[in-house]
Amino acid sequence: MVYHPFSITKCFSATAVVVALLLGGSLAPVQALVKMDAQTVDASLVYGMKNQKLGLSALLGANWIEGENGALLNVYSPFMMLATKAAKAGFSSNPTKSDLMKARKRFGKEVAFYSDTKNRLQVKFAVSFYGDSPGFAKNYNAKIVGFGRGKSFEIKPAKVNLDAVADPVTGGVSGAAYEAVNGYYFNFADLENLDDFTLLLESPSGPPVKFRLKNARLY
């Protein structure tokens, strides 16, 4: 059973969420990407600890998106980046307030960074996909095309991490011989304005890769 971090009702405070999770509560998924502050940092740590026995797909929940031709997108918001660290740290899966304090100490650098609302945060879009040559992935540029707050947006990543040499695979999708993972980092503040959007990867030497997302489903 996944212990989702936030209530569907917007009246639920982050502090109440932490308390509910520590008491073993199960809450519905958040409505849109989570803004980070001192309280949501705690909620992220508790969420990761409670769900540490699950596989990555269950931990990520709606942030795990399967595309066409075997492509896979994992969305690592600041909340999810910290939660995945906590899930791998070996703390109790039934955390107490004491466990939370230990986690805050273990990840002190990250806790300080994410708790400061003045810091510019990013969301990582990790894309696993297939191609026909070792260097196919480094030719893929990305952008987000979306709509929100009454207007259209086209957003380019603030940073990219391209897989220069893809791994050979056997029995790949549609006979593809190589698998790569590219990372595209977008500013959190740019994504806040979006409702529906598409992550589009394009290359002069390969087919486009698309993922359609709804901000309200991510956290």
100 plus 165 within the same structural domain: no
The answer as to whether 18 is a domain residue is yes
What's the whole-number mean pLDDT along residues 109-136? 95
The answer as to whether 66 is a domain residue is no
- Terminal alpha carbon distance of the chain: 17
103 plus 176 within the same structural domain: no
For 75-85, what is each residue's pLDDT tens digit?
Answer: 999 999 999 99
50 plus 126 within the same structural domain: no
pLDDT of residue 19: 47
The pLDDT mean for the chain works out to 86
From 70, 91, 115, the end of a domain falls on: 115
The answer as to whether 25 is a domain residue is yes
Domain containing residue 192: 122-217
| Rounded (to 5) percent helix, strand, coil in the chain | 35, 30, 35
pLDDT of residue 14: 46
Task: Write the CATH number for 145.
Answer: 2.60.40
Q: Which percentage of the chain shows pLDDT scores above 70?
A: 83
126 plus 211 within the same structural domain: yes
The answer as to whether 5 is a domain residue is no
The answer as to whether 196 is a domain residue is yes
What's the whole-number mean pLDDT along residues 86-105? 94
Instruction: Name the strand (E) or helix (H) holding 78.
Output: helix 78-87
pLDDT of residue 6: 45
* Domains identified in the chain, total number: 2
pLDDT of residue 149: 84
92 plus 26 within the same structural domain: yes
100 plus 128 within the same structural domain: no
109 plus 148 within the same structural domain: no
Q: How far is CA 104 from CA 44, 54, 100, 130, in A?
A: 11, 22, 6, 38
* Pick from 10-24, 51-65, 141-155: least confident: 10-24
99 plus 32 within the same structural domain: yes
pLDDT of residue 26: 45
The answer as to whether 173 is a domain residue is yes
- With a cut of 50, say whether residue 23 has pLDDT above it: no
174 pLDDT tier (thresholds 50, 70, 90) = low
In the 8-state DSSP scheme, what is residue 89? T
Q: Are 83 and 48 in contact (CB under 8 A)?
A: yes
The answer as to whether 161 is a domain residue is yes
104 plus 56 within the same structural domain: yes
84 plus 127 within the same structural domain: no
90 plus 182 within the same structural domain: no
The answer as to whether 2 is a domain residue is no
